[in-house]
Amino acid sequence: MLDINNFTWILAAVIVFFTFLKWYVARNDDYWKKKGIPYLPRMSLLTMHRMLKREGTAPFIKSLCNSNLGRVYGGFEGADPIVIVTEPDLLRDILVKDFHIFPNRRMMETGDTVADSALNNLTGEQWKRIRTIITPAFTSKRMRVMGSIINDCSKTVLEMCEKRSEEGKPVDCKGLFGAFTMDVIANSAFGTQIDSQNDPNNEFVTRVRRVFEGFNFTTMLLAFALPVWIWKFLPSSFHPLKFDRDDFFRDVTRNVIKKRKETGRRYNDFLQILMDAADETRHAEHLDLAEDETDRFGSIVNDGLSPSLKYKKLSETELLAQCVLFFLVGYETTATMITFTAYSLAVNPDCQEKLIKEIDEAFQKHGEMSHDAVREMKVLDAVISETLRMHPPLGSLERTAVEKYELRNTGIVVEKGMRVGIPTYGIHYDPEFFEDPETFNPER
Q: How many Å apart are CA 77 and CA 43, to the nearest integer?
A: 8
Of the listed pieces 13-21, 257-265, 280-288, 332-340, which binds ligand HEM according to CB under 6 A?
Answer: 332-340
| C-alpha count within 13 angstroms, C-beta hemisphere, residue 114 | 23
Q: How many Å apart are CA 362 and CA 374, to the nearest integer?
A: 8
- DSSP result, 295-357: T-SS---STTS-HHHHTPPPPHHHHHHHHHHHHHHHHHHHHHHHHHHHHHHHT-HHHHHHHHH
Shortest Å, Cβ 437 to ligand HEM: 18
Shortest Å, Cβ 394 to ligand HEM: 4
- Check residue 103 for interaction with ligand HEM (CB under 6 A): no
The answer to whether residues 309 and 129 touch, using CB atoms and an 8 Å cutoff, is yes
The answer to whether residues 239 and 231 touch, using CB atoms and an 8 Å cutoff, is yes
Map residues 405-444 to x or -, x wherever contact with ligand HEM holds by CB under 6 A: ----------------------------------------
Q: How many Å apart are CA 395 and CA 52, to the nearest integer?
A: 14
- Check residue 153 for interaction with ligand HEM (CB under 6 A): no
Q: How many Å apart are CA 169 and CA 179, to the nearest integer?
A: 19
- Check residue 253 for interaction with ligand HEM (CB under 6 A): no
| C-alpha count within 13 angstroms, C-beta hemisphere, residue 319 | 23
Nearer of residues 107 and 394 to ligand HEM, judged by Cβ: 394
From the list 105, 209, 371, 444, which residue makes contact with ligand HEM (rule: CB under 6 A)?
Answer: 105
Shortest Å, Cβ 190 to ligand HEM: 11
Alpha-carbon distances, residue 336 vs 14, 78, 342, 388 (angstroms): 46, 30, 10, 10
Shortest Å, Cβ 338 to ligand HEM: 8
Nearer of residues 202 and 387 to ligand HEM, judged by Cβ: 387
- Check residue 333 for interaction with ligand HEM (CB under 6 A): yes
Nearer of residues 271 and 337 to ligand HEM, judged by Cβ: 337
Q: How many Å apart are CA 198 and CA 204, to the nearest integer?
A: 13
Nearer of residues 135 and 348 to ligand HEM, judged by Cβ: 135
Number of Cβ atoms within 10 Å of the Cβ of 317: 14
Q: How many Å apart are CA 443 and CA 436, to the nearest integer?
A: 12
Shortest Å, Cβ 1 to ligand HEM: 58
Q: Which amino acid is at 149?
A: I
Nearer of residues 16 and 96 to ligand HEM, judged by Cβ: 96
Nearer of residues 119 and 221 to ligand HEM, judged by Cβ: 119
CA 285 to chain centre: 30
From the list 337, 355, 379, 382, which residue makes contact with ligand HEM (rule: CB under 6 A)?
Answer: 337
Question: Quick one: which of 274, 315, 302, 273 has its CA closest to 128?
Answer: 302
Going by the DSSP 8-state scheme, the letter that residue 44 receives in this structure is P
From the list 231, 249, 326, 425, which residue makes contact with ligand HEM (rule: CB under 6 A)?
Answer: 326
Q: How many Å apart are CA 146 and CA 152, to the nearest integer?
A: 10
Nearer of residues 127 and 248 to ligand HEM, judged by Cβ: 127
- Check residue 330 for interaction with ligand HEM (CB under 6 A): yes
From the list 119, 171, 220, 402, which residue makes contact with ligand HEM (rule: CB under 6 A)?
Answer: 119
Nearer of residues 59 and 393 to ligand HEM, judged by Cβ: 393
Phi and psi at 273, nearest 5°, equal -60, -45
Shortest Å, Cβ 436 to ligand HEM: 23
120 to 149, contacts with ligand HEM by CB under 6 A?
120, 131
- Check residue 75 for interaction with ligand HEM (CB under 6 A): no
Q: Which amino acid is at 102?
A: F
**Chain position whose Cβ is nearest to ligand HEM:** 330
Nearer of residues 72 and 321 to ligand HEM, judged by Cβ: 321
Number of Cβ atoms within 10 Å of the Cβ of 268: 12
Shortest Å, Cβ 188 to ligand HEM: 9
364 to 393, contacts with ligand HEM by CB under 6 A?
388, 393
Q: How many Å apart are CA 198 and CA 176, to the nearest integer?
A: 10
Shortest Å, Cβ 273 to ligand HEM: 12
Nearer of residues 114 and 337 to ligand HEM, judged by Cβ: 337
Beta bridge partners of 83: 74, 420
From the list 397, 402, 407, 418, which residue makes contact with ligand HEM (rule: CB under 6 A)?
Answer: 397
Of the listed pieces 109-117, 302-310, 325-333, 413-421, which binds ligand HEM according to CB under 6 A?
Answer: 325-333
Residues that bind ligand HEM in the complex, under the rule CB under 6 A: 105, 119-120, 131, 185, 325-326, 329-330, 333-334, 337, 388, 393-394, 397
